[in-house]
Amino acid sequence: MHYPNGKKVSVNAAKPSVFRETIYSNRGMTLEEDINETNDFYKDSNKAIIHKKPVPVQIVQVDYPKRSAAVIKEAYFKQASTTDYNGIYKGKYIDFEAKETRNKTSFPLSNIHQHQIDHMKQVVSHGAICFLIIRFSVLQETYYYPAEKLFIYWEKQLNGGRKSIPLDAVKKEGYIIPIQFHIKVDYLSVIDKYCI
């Protein structure tokens, strides 16, 4: 794969951490799958409309070893992606990024990119509810973390500060997301309680 600036990246390196299969608590589910199921539940119950944003990719070379199978050999990112999800809830625009880490003590800021921060700042400036969903997979804990708090740590790292958000800060400044049978990442319950 190639980024818009022409840099070549291996397909595995280009995959965000939420796409990698992580097995925990014998569930074999990834954060992205859990959020997608949650969003389906929200949509089916007419609670909210939240969608996974497609990654803009231009396919350049495809091999057809068999008529029924195609293998993408070369593709380019058309542009830098923004965040993973967006939609509407109770008349408010919702925009968020989902990240999973195996780190037990902090969330590495290397999981986020400057263009994502820029996008999040723009949507916040227009009154959107913007946040990270961070899953500490080893700890089996998932948090709602406000974008405004993320911006503080982002700026500090650019000025020589630490390059991660300590788990204690995530717990203090964010909110644990409850896990229920039908709603595996019930982030709207956090928004109802703390944001609206």
State the DSSP code for 53: P
The domain that holds 150 is classified in CATH as: 3.40.1350.10
State the 10-residue block means of pLDDT for the chain, 196 residues long.
51 43 45 96 97 77 78 69 93 97 97 95 97 96 98 97 97 94 92 92
Report pLDDT for 56: 63
Report pLDDT for 36: 96
Annotation-wise, does 97 bind a ligand?
yes
In a domain, 18, yes or no: no
In a domain, 20, yes or no: no
The count of domains in the chain is 1
In a domain, 104, yes or no: yes
In a domain, 5, yes or no: no
In a domain, 128, yes or no: yes
Annotation-wise, does 116 bind a ligand?
yes
Report pLDDT for 61: 79
Contacts of 86 (CB under 8 A, 6+ apart): 50, 51, 53, 93, 94, 95, 96
Report pLDDT for 156: 97
Report pLDDT for 17: 42
Annotation-wise, does 105 bind a ligand?
no
With a threshold of 0.85, does the pTM exceed it?
A: no
In a domain, 65, yes or no: no
Element (H, E) at 5: none
Range of 126's domain? 27-54+80-194
Contacts of 73 (CB under 8 A, 6+ apart): 61, 62, 63
In a domain, 169, yes or no: yes
How deeply is 125 buried, as exposed, middle or buried, from its count of CB atoms within 10 A (0-12, 13-18, 19+)? exposed
